[in-house]
Amino acid sequence: MKELRDEYNRVIDYLRISVTDRCNSRCQYCMPSSGVTFKPHKEILSFEEIVKIANAFVELGVKKIRLTGGEPLVRKDIVDLVRRLSKIQKLEELTMTTNGLLLKDYAKDLKSAGLSRVNISIDTLHDEKYNSITLGSSLTSVLEGIQAAKKVGLIPIKLNVVLIKGFNDDEIKDFVELTKNEPIDVRFIELMTIGNNRKWAKERFLSTDEIFTEVPNLVALQKKDKSSPADYYHIEGYKGRVGLINPITCQFCSECNRVRLTSTGQLKLCLHSNKEYNLRKYVDHEEKLKQYISTIIIKKPEEHHLDQKIYINRDMHSIGG
């Protein structure tokens, strides 16, 4: 079986594909509240181009693909893309990260089209706070989306919670309690200083160590997947797990197995790097595309910089979550 390896002998078998830079929400750490310039449609990868690039990666050894955005469910005919990608031979897992706002309407069709499961972003369990952080979105829609995903079998469900000091640090126990009666993962993620809102993010950064202060009875679980960015814990007797993802205080670069494709066809070998490689120019030449991918994967950085003077220019919505 083929493998993609970088110069540090890491196997790269996970591709995250952003299908759009647009979103139906305005989370403050992801997208500026105003002055957002979205890419015109002609600059966004077509479904045909996405499938060709995905095929090339799978032939080279990628086993897992995750669809991201912006918000992937705002992309017209997204179910059709899921159906096309799910038919790629040797692709073992096709997943999606979504804010859940449209998931109630799409869950059944996504499952039928071949999607394996979903990660759902949800940073608060309070209506007013959710409306505030997203600049007008509905928490009820997200909760209904979660129930719909469970009903059709888009499981195991993972809830992603970005830790924000002064915003949701008083809800840590409430989120952990969600794991008591259901086999879901609640994953707390450190806020990253990326894009135009980096000053806002830096002022509100909170280490995941705060989780242990609020919930001292967490018990560590053995890590089954070394490439996973999350360290998992649980409370004795609870059905679900609590994951901690620490891109700032605890780098997991040595086990990193992923790369990101932006909605315009740029390959990012590291989220925390401004360096990008244009795959779109080779999309109609299968062998050249695979050769180019193999050549640039070698250049994946050994680790990302934590020097706060080095910032990522792009906002998260234009990179892909």
Residue listed under structure tokens 């560590």: 220
Strands (E), the chain: 14-18, 64-68, 93-98, 117-121, 158-163, 185-190, 219-220, 230-234, 241-245, 258-261, 266-268, 277-278
pLDDT at 199: 75
Residue listed under structure tokens 């979205």: 38
* Share in percent of the chain as helix, strand, coil (round to 5): 35, 20, 50
Confidence of residue 229 (pLDDT cuts 50, 70, 90): confident
The verdict on pTM exceeding 0.75 is yes
Tally of residues, the chain: 321
* Contact criterion met (CB below 8 Å) for 94 and 44: no
In a domain, 67, yes or no: yes
pLDDT at 135: 86
Contacts of 237 (CB under 8 A, 6+ apart): none
Q: How many domains does the chain have?
A: 1
In a domain, 280, yes or no: yes
Query: How far is Cα 158 from Cα 148, in angstroms, rounded to an integer?
Result: 14
- The CATH number given to whatever domain includes residue 213 is 3.20.20.70
**Burial environment of residue 198 by CB neighbours within 10 A (0 to 12, 13 to 18, 19 or more):** middle
pLDDT per residue as tens digits for the range 257-309:
999 999 999 999 988 788 999 999 999 999 999 999 999 999 999 987 655 44
In a domain, 4, yes or no: no
pLDDT at 117: 97
Confidence of residue 6 (pLDDT cuts 50, 70, 90): very high
Q: What is the largest CA-CA distance in the chain?
A: 55
In a domain, 99, yes or no: yes
Domain holding 160, by residue range, is 14-319
In a domain, 70, yes or no: yes
In a domain, 1, yes or no: no
Contacts of 262 (CB under 8 A, 6+ apart): 18, 21, 268, 276, 318, 319, 320
Would you state the structure tokens that stand for residue 292, as one six-digit string?
Answer: 């180019």
Of 14-23, 134-143, 189-198, 248-257, the one with minimum mean pLDDT is 189-198
In a domain, 298, yes or no: yes
pLDDT reading at 317 higher than 80 = no
* Contact criterion met (CB below 8 Å) for 268 and 299: no
Nearest Cα to Cα of residue 206 among 187, 230, 189: 189
* Mean pLDDT, residues 165-193 taken together: 94
Beta bridge partners of 263: none
pLDDT per residue as tens digits for the range 30-69:
666 566 778 898 999 999 999 999 999 999 999 999 999 9
In a domain, 48, yes or no: yes
Of 118-132, 172-186, 187-201, 289-303, the one with minimum mean pLDDT is 187-201
Would you state the structure tokens that stand for residue 256, as one six-digit string?
Answer: 């990193």
